């Protein structure tokens, strides 16, 4: 048997977290593009009432054939209800399904500091009417728009459905079945017809992730019952996305993503992962675009949710940053949704706001400031320097030479934050895109990309595009200042055209070693019609020449784009790779049902460093070992300059665990290994030796000014001996406290320690961190060790906010 090593002991909680997160993930499956032909199929709706056309109203379909627990011992049938708006005219009309998020549902109870998880449906706050304005707007465009009440699907199990996605699918499909059957309870005008082949989905927050999972399920299993077709378009608003795009491509349907800058709920803006995955898919045939909504928050898309979440701990906006009003945010969404529906219905991708490469990108859209990342179908893009591989530091995907003059160029892999290279450490790039990092400190700096003769003809292209964002943490970026550079296009005959571009310094501030604020690499588009003096049929080079003396930017997707026609380029293989092997467990004859094997790909790190994962793959196993595995990963997540290892753990239902004594090489010098043999041994958790204490240091920890610790927050203290530079080198004691039912501006913590462990004359200090109630999300910290005077036996420290 294998005694637990220092490494395994330190990582046991990380293992558990990784297993739980991976177990919750439901990776989307690849699917063909949904084409947009007109349909003859219609469903007729019978009704005895005639509400005003385009006015939103509530409906009740009755009870489903399942029961739900809504309190202690209280069981009631699941109610099917929602809000709907109908268009004028007979039709057939397209159908837009709108899913609200998981907001407040239950009234607060006396003497209880927290909202109940579930309550009787008659007492629940309805979140679907808050989207009535959007339903009405869609109805004026000729769509039948409905928002089912899915509160209970988010909050309670029913029908034996343990997963939220399954419950959501159950509820939505019951609504669609009755709509197709012409249920009178919808209250629609007599003779109104809908086209089941023209179905579109809009989802907000967990309703956004639910909309994505619904569209995936209908492709993987079968279309929604009732004769409905596949979803022909998705609009996701601040969705909580599980991920999984490191192993499978995203849905290949027209997709739009809205990312509010000041989101205080899904503050990592993880929905951008979907767009990044679409951008990296070499076979994608549908357009995708993300709209970074500056000043927007998470809640205001729903008129029933009045809380401004932009001031929560999780938000990455400063209090003084400009904000959108609720009315302005909903005006933006209504305008965008109407434009998208019109484009999806017509099949004209260039009508999608911001996608037409012949037109400049709008800085203001429907009254709101935005940054965009438009992703045209892969056949319409010729990547010159996409920033998706470390090989691009010297050679472009077209085979051209990449040359850097008086500057530094680095590669940031997809999905990695702080990859061991200088790029992106401490900076939040939504979607953690694969990109390059260009930095300079000389007036003659330049980045040049030559174009081989085989790909010199760009006459079919409409625009040159690139994504840029200033790196606010790089010392070469002047704080608060614009970065200016010229994009220069040259042909083989010596013709040249240049276009100046400017990149704004992102809003935010430095907190410790991190940047508090979003750093979004938005797209800059240069229509080629404006570049006179260069022969587009004989392109030879594209260069970036900074005009500021020093600076640093994130750079991606330098590419030529057409407005519909295919543009030639090299054949791009699938970006997905696989490592194969087998896991042996000599001490185990048989793994019972319910056992879980987790295999992880991570950086090869030195001893004592926390692991940095590339991908985590869980699998249910049973029976006799060895267990084969095929670990899929995305090539853009790999830096060929680094080495990678595979680690694994087997967990049995009774709590026993088996692990590796050390990770095994998996990718060396860019070459993946196959037939990897992993041998696991039983993990024995050894209780630490008890250390007596005879002294107590009393600490008062204050929350950041104006940002009290929320209920359930955890505050941890490490008491350490410091070296000459103030770094903790010997931890003597740790302690912590949990915030109670009410927010707290400060919390007292007692730190017991043994005076016999003190080094006379050495300095000592405390490092303090505050976490949300999930014990994972960092809220505030000291930013290092704060020296303390042991003679006084007490101290007061004030924390500063950190980027979660």
Q: What is the mean pLDDT of residues 457-476?
A: 95
- Which position has the higher pLDDT, 362 or 111? 362
Q: Does 178 score more than 60 pLDDT?
A: yes
Q: Tens digit of pLDDT for each residue in 495-517?
A: 999 999 999 999 999 887 789 99
Q: Tens digit of pLDDT for each residue in 97-146?
A: 999 999 989 888 776 677 888 899 999 999 999 999 999 999 999 999 99
**CATH number of the structural domain spanning residue 763:** 2.60.40
Residue 33 located in a structural domain? no
Tell me: do 54 and 79 sit in the same domain: yes
Residue 155 located in a structural domain? yes
- Which position has the higher pLDDT, 410 or 421? 410
Residue 533 located in a structural domain? yes
Q: Best-predicted range by mean pLDDT among 350-359, 641-650, 776-785, 795-804?
A: 350-359
Q: Does 730 score more than 90 pLDDT?
A: no
Q: How far is Cα 83 from Cα 516, in angstroms, rounded to an integer? A: 39
Residue 225 located in a structural domain? no
Q: What is the mean pLDDT of residues 395-401?
A: 97
Residue 738 located in a structural domain? yes
Please return the burial class of 56, using the count of CB atoms within 10 Å of its CB with bins 0-12, 13-18 and 19+: buried
Q: How far is Cα 42 from Cα 628, in angstroms, rounded to an integer? A: 49
Which pLDDT value is given to residue 179? Answer: 95
Tell me: do 399 and 542 sit in the same domain: yes
CA dihedral 41, 43, 44, 50 (to 10 degrees): -120
Tell me: do 434 and 477 sit in the same domain: yes
Which pLDDT value is given to residue 2? Answer: 41
Tell me: do 680 and 710 sit in the same domain: no
Tokens of 214: 């619904």
Which pLDDT value is given to residue 700? Answer: 93
Tell me: do 347 and 415 sit in the same domain: no
Tell me: do 660 and 713 sit in the same domain: no
Which pLDDT value is given to residue 25? Answer: 32
Q: How confident is the model at residue 344 (pLDDT cuts 50, 70, 90)?
A: very high
Q: How far is Cα 574 from Cα 577, in angstroms, rounded to an integer? A: 8
Q: Does 804 score more than 80 pLDDT?
A: no
Do residues 328 and 534 lie in contact, with contact meaning Cβ atoms separated by under 8 Å?
no
Give the rounded percent of residues in the chain with a pLDDT score beyond 90.
60
Tell me: do 538 and 447 sit in the same domain: yes
- Which position has the higher pLDDT, 552 or 45? 552
Tell me: do 450 and 319 sit in the same domain: no
Tell me: do 550 and 602 sit in the same domain: no
Which pLDDT value is given to residue 11? Answer: 32
Residue 30 located in a structural domain? no
Which pLDDT value is given to residue 608? Answer: 53
Q: Which residues contact 545 (CB under 8 A, 6 or more apart)?
A: 445, 446, 447, 485, 486, 488
- Which position has the higher pLDDT, 729 or 174? 174
Q: Does 487 score more than 60 pLDDT?
A: yes
Q: How confident is the model at residue 32 (pLDDT cuts 50, 70, 90)?
A: very low
Helix (H, G, I), strand (E, B) or coil at 690: coil
Q: Tens digit of pLDDT for each residue in 152-168?
A: 999 888 888 888 889 99
Q: Does 31 score more than 50 pLDDT?
A: no
Our count of domains for the chain comes to 5
Q: How far is Cα 161 from Cα 616, in angstroms, rounded to an integer? A: 25
Q: How far is Cα 629 from Cα 612, in angstroms, rounded to an integer? A: 21
Give the rounded percent of residues in the chain with a pLDDT score beyond 70.
89
| Parent domain of 753 | 695-801
Helix (H, G, I), strand (E, B) or coil at 185: helix
Longest alpha-carbon distance in the chain = 90
Tokens of 346: 């017509």
By mean pLDDT, which of 311-320, 349-358, 575-584 is the weakest?
Answer: 311-320
Tell me: do 585 and 545 sit in the same domain: no
What mean pLDDT is reported for the chain? 87
Tell me: do 406 and 542 sit in the same domain: yes
Q: How confident is the model at residue 724 (pLDDT cuts 50, 70, 90)?
A: confident
CA 528 remoteness from chain centre:
33
Q: Does 774 score more than 50 pLDDT?
A: yes
Tokens of 283: 């076979």
Q: How confident is the model at residue 4 (pLDDT cuts 50, 70, 90)?
A: very low
Q: How far is Cα 280 from Cα 272, in angstroms, rounded to an integer? A: 12
Q: How far is Cα 752 from Cα 793, in angstroms, rounded to an integer? A: 11
Which pLDDT value is given to residue 19? Answer: 32
Q: How far is Cα 140 from Cα 86, in angstroms, rounded to an integer? A: 8
Q: Tens digit of pLDDT for each residue in 512-556?
A: 778 999 999 999 999 998 888 999 999 999 999 999 999 999 999
Which pLDDT value is given to residue 511? Answer: 82
Q: How far is Cα 173 from Cα 231, in angstroms, rounded to an integer? A: 13
Q: Does 600 score more than 60 pLDDT?
A: yes
Tell me: do 623 and 484 sit in the same domain: no
Which pLDDT value is given to residue 400? Answer: 97
Residue 653 located in a structural domain? yes
By mean pLDDT, which of 22-36, 304-318, 583-597, 658-672 is the weakest?
Answer: 22-36
Q: How far is Cα 99 from Cα 148, in angstroms, rounded to an integer? A: 7
Q: Which of 539, 561, 583 is the last residue of a domain?
A: 561
Residue 727 located in a structural domain? yes
Q: Tens digit of pLDDT for each residue in 606-649?
A: 655 656 778 888 899 999 999 999 999 999 999 998 899 999 99
**Phi and psi torsions of 684, nearest 5°:** -110, 120
Buried b / exposed e along 328-357 (16+ C-beta atoms within 10 A): bbbbbbbbbbbbbbebbbeeebbebbbbbb
Q: Which of 508, 527, 561 is the last residue of a domain?
A: 561
**CATH number of the structural domain spanning residue 389:** 2.60.120.430
């Amino acid at each position: 048997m294998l005694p637990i090593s220092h490494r395994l002991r330190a990582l046991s909680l990380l293992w558990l977290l990784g297993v739980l997160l991976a177990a919750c993930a439901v990776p989307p499956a690849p699917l063909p593009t949904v084409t947009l032909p007109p349909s003859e199929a219609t469903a007729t709706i019978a009704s005895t009432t005639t509400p005003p056309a385009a006015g939103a109203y509530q409906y009740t379909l009755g009870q489903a054939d399942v029961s739900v627990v809504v309190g202690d011992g209280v069981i009631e049938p699941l109610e099917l209800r929602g809000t709907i708006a109908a268009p004028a005219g007979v039709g057939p009309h397209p159908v837009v399904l709108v899913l609200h998020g998981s907001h407040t549902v239950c009234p607060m109870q006396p003497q209880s500091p927290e909202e109940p998880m579930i309550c009787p449906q008659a007492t629940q706050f309805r979140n679907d009417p808050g989207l009535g304005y959007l339903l009405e707007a869609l109805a004026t465009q000729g769509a039948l728009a409905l928002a089912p009440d899915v509160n209970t699907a988010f909050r309670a199990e029913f029908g034996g459905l343990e997963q939220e996605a399954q419950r959501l699918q159950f509820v939505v499909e019951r609504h669609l079945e009755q709509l197709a059957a012409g249920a009178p309870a919808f209250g629609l005008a007599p003779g109104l017809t809908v086209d089941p082949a023209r179905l579109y989905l809009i989802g907000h927050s967990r309703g956004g992730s639910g909309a994505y999972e619904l569209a995936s399920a209908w492709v993987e299993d079968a279309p929604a019952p009732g004769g409905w077709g596949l979803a022909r378009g998705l609009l996701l608003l601040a969705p909580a996305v599980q991920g999984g795009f490191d192993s499978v491509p995203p849905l290949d349907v027209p997709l739009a993503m809205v990312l509010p800058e000041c989101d205080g709920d899904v503050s990592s803006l993880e929905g951008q992962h979907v767009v990044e995955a679409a951008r990296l898919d070499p076979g994608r045939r549908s357009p995708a675009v993300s709209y970074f909504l500056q000043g927007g928050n998470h809640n205001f898309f729903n008129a029933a949710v009045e809380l401004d979440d932009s001031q929560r701990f999780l938000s990455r906006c400063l209090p003084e940053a400009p904000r959108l009003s609720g009315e302005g945010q909903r005006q933006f969404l209504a305008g965008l949704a109407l434009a998208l529906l019109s484009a999806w219905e017509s099949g004209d991708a260039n009508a999608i706001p911001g996608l037409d490469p012949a037109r400049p990108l709008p800085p203001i859209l429907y009254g709101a400031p935005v940054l965009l990342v438009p992703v045209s179908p892969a056949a319409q893009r010729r990547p010159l320097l996409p920033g998706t591989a470390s090989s691009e530091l010297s050679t472009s995907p077209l085979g051209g030479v990449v040359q850097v003059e008086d500057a530094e160029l680095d590669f940031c892999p997809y999905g990695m934050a702080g990859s061991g290279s200088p790029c992106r450490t401490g900076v939040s790039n939504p979607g953690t895109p694969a990109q390059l990092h260009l930095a300079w400190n000389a007036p003659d700096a330049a980045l040049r990309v030559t174009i081989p003769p085989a790909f010199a003809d760009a006459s079919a292209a409409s625009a040159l595009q690139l994504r840029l964002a200033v790196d606010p943490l790089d010392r070469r970026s002047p704080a608060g200042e614009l970065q200016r550079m010229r994009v220069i296009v040259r042909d083989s005959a010596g013709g040249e055209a240049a276009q100046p571009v400017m990149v704004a310094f992102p809003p935010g501030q430095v907190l410790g070693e991190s940047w508090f604020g979003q750093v979004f690499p938005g797209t800059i588009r240069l229509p080629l019609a404006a570049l006179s003096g260069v022969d587009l049929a004989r392109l030879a080079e594209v260069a970036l020449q900074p005009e500021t003396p020093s600076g640093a930017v994130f750079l991606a997707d330098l590419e030529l784009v057409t407005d519909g026609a295919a543009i030639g380029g090299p054949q791009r293989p699938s970006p997905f790779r696989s490592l194969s092997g087998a896991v042996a467990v000599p001490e185990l004859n048989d793994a019972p049902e319910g056992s879980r094997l987790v295999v992880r790909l991570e950086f090869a790190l030195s001893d004592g460093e926390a692991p940095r994962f590339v991908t985590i793959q869980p699998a249910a196993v049973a029976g006799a070992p060895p267990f084969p595995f095929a670990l899929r990963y995305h090539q853009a997540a790999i830096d060929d300059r680094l080495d990678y290892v595979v680690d694994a753990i087997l967990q049995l239902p009774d709590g026993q665990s088996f692990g590796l004594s050390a990770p095994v090489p998996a990718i060396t010098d860019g070459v993946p290994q196959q037939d990897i043999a992993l041998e696991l041994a039983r993990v024995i958790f050894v209780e630490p030796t008890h250390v007596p204490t005879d002294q107590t240091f009393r600490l008062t920890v204050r929350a950041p000014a104006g940002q009290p610790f929320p209920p359930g927050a955890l505050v941890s203290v490490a008491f350490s001996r410091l070296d000459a530079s103030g770094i903790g080198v010997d931890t003597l004691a740790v302690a912590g406290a949990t915030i109670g039912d009410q927010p707290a501006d400060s919390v007292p913590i007692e730190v017991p320690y043994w005076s016999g462990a003190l080094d006379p004359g050495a300095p000592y200090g405390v490092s303090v961190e505050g976490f949300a109630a999930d014990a994972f999300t960092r809220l505030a910290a000291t930013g290092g060790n704060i020296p303390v005077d042991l003679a006084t036996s007490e101290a007061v420290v004030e924390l500063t906010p950190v980027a979660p």
